[in-house]
Structure 1
Amino acid sequence: MEYSEEKLFEEKVFKDPVHRYVHVRDRVIWDLIGTKEFQRLRRIKQLGTTYLTFHGAEHSRFNHSLGVYEITRRIVDNVFASRPEWNEGERLLSLCAALLHDLGHGPFSHSFEKVFDLDHEDFTRKIILGDTEVNQVLSRVAVDFPRKVAEVIEKTYENKLIISLISSQIDADRMDYLQRDAYFTGVSYGHFDMERILRVMRPREDQVVIKQSGMHAVEDYIMSRYQMYWQVYFHPVTRSAEVILSKILHRAKHLHEQNYTFKHKPHHFYSIFEDRISLQDYLKLDEAVFLYYFQIWEEEEDQILSDLCRRFNNRNLFKYVEFDPAKEYKKLAKLSVLFEQAGIDPEYYLVVDSSSDLPYDFYRPGEEEERLPIHLLKKNGEIRELSRESEIVDAISGKRRTDHKLYYPADFLEKEKARPEMMQIAQILELNLDNGTI
């Protein structure tokens, strides 16, 4: 029997709080889960710093990746099976791409990527195509199989239907993370009727479409996503932790560039600081490594790095006020001057952070991020874009919501509140230092 068709003697299952069970019968999938590159995802949190806001949010990229695989397996094995539009020969490719789609994520992924100008999708490709255990497993299927898996994840594969399964505005990736993140954060926003959506999915030549009868379940899904972004993903306390995390990494890199002598040499960071990180270096990084350095950096002579690490480790986060950078740039400039006069570096302690999301969009050809819209399959066989049929979706379609906040160290202001600079800062920020409302 060919490796691609080999089944385990007995089906393996993972007990899962969201899907009840994750089922594995394919030898290829079981072998991929056992690789060291995939096991590394156990040490990368799915929601980064969100655990500092919602204490249950300790789940990992490993959990999520298994969930995306399970949803995809249910679609291709139960929903698409025997339908003429579906090529059964693409089944294993779909499952592998679903399982490995987040393989290249790093520790505290998005903050980490922004600071060092990295791209987890680039590292996903390198892991799949490089000298790795994952590549060895995929290559046993066929010489060109790793390339095909990488192309599906990169959204360049010729069969767009497979791409839409894991990367569209209604896909296995989103359906898993909304439910999983809602479960572990303890909120109710991310719940929707996934069973109904799966039942009304239909394969078409270039994407998954939804039967008209399932429109209300899709509306619920889109509103769940909208609520999760603003109530969980963009929570201002989580964003405060991300601001401090980013500033720690910026400060450590700056000190290295200034030839600062660290008490404990940050060996894991040298190749990142110097923009020469290899795949092997990257795979050695996980959140345990980062948190180890954050702990020992509390003892550094550099007061900024030491203070920021202490804040992150002990959850002494920055406070925030609503802020519009377009209208209040003069206020920001004045605050920066006052912070410097008070001996507080505004580069690290006065930070504007912006959050932005587009809950649903129709097709806009030529845009940098082209979003494949959700299409409904009507009873007469006609296919219509969702916002043309749903008043609810039409109301939010194409409307980007953006939120800006200004973060600052309230404890610094409180400690030195007798100083005239602090009183001026408090007045500009509309704070009352006397009654503690900072």
Structure 2
Amino acid sequence: MNNAERADPTTHFDVEAVRQDFPILHQQVNGHPLVYLDNAATTQKPRAVIDAISDYYLYDNSNVHRGAHALAERATAKFEGARETVAQFLNAPGREQILWTRGTTESVNLVAHSWGRTELKPGDRILVSAMEHHSNIVPWQMIAEATGARVEAIPVDKTGTLDMEAFESKLKEGRVRMVSVGHVSNALGTVNPIEQIIQAAHEAGALVMIDGAQAVSHWPVDVQALDCDFYAFSAHKLFGPTGIGVLYGRRELLEAMPPYQGGGEMIQHVSFEGTSFGPLPYKFEAGTPDIAGAIGLAAAIDYVNGLDRAAAVAYERVLLAYAEEKAQATEGVTLVGTAAHKVSVLSFLVEGTHPNDLGFLLDQQGVAVRTGNHCAEPIMEQYGIPGTVRASFSFYNTFDEVDRLFEALDKARQFF
């Protein structure tokens, strides 16, 4: 059966046509056609994104907001146009609520240090889930140590599902100021019930930050419908370039927060007697920004918006189901993360092998996966494992590539 025959006929998603947009997928690695299954780490880039970045450097390269010449005007128009594209993508109320950062990690740090340093007091509580990425744990630990607040984990069960009863009990204990959770677990693929989380947190008087790094590539996000206080994501997880990310925040919160960094562009007036800061979003954007990165992200969003998102989501769901069936039918393979609601992440162990060794042997056959604790060490410790092999799929992956993964696994196991 070919890829089209395996797919749910209701998806109407032409994966072969989409694959033509991604040049990197058509290469050989270690003498084998590349099977790229590390999309939770970073997604590949369509030609439209590569061209947008290249065109900026070829024709429009200039600093933004400053120059009185044509290149500066064109660069500024594209840069600020990219901000508007992101605002529309997230359905943010205003472009001023979209801040450029270096990625989700810096976005979390910005909120933790700018909001947390001024708002947190000794005895205040910050809740994060036990399955969080380190970048949604460590910044909160740092600010908690500086302010006397404390970070507490929301329990996660053996399937990788958040314990909502325990979460609500923690809220009732009082003094929870911030709840910061991932929309989707990068290590397990679990989709958290963030609408329920946000509502419960707000009823308890807490703010909510959502790490959306693993969500935005899989479905549209509407921050107004979610009613979250902060939402962050990284461009490179959304088929865009590395080194640039986004923080959305409620206007009243961002206006009350002090700048995270000082320097050029974020000021209104500077003297040795004191400094006044610029309006949103610029007071949080010190220094020359990643102009090409913003333009590349806008191109990535335009590309994604040009797809049939519903068909792509349905296709990924069928692809994951196929991979899970293959895993369950393979002797010695144990899935890690079996929540009822997941995105296309297959995290697993193979009896008698270490994940790192297995990843090396898969790479020798052209299959790219991620191994280790996936920057989610606490949940791996809870499960008593050193890490997993993680195959993460995107809409440009195929059923044939899933077959290649399991064929490569069979050959690797023969080595052991």
Query: Which of the five TM-score ranges fits, normalised by the shorter chain?
Result: under 0.3
Structure with the largest fraction of helix: 1
Query: Which structure carries more relative contact order (alpha carbon 8 Å, separation 6+)?
Result: 2
| TM-score when normalising by structure 2 | 0.28
| TM-score when normalising by structure 1 | 0.27
Structure with the largest fraction of strand: 2
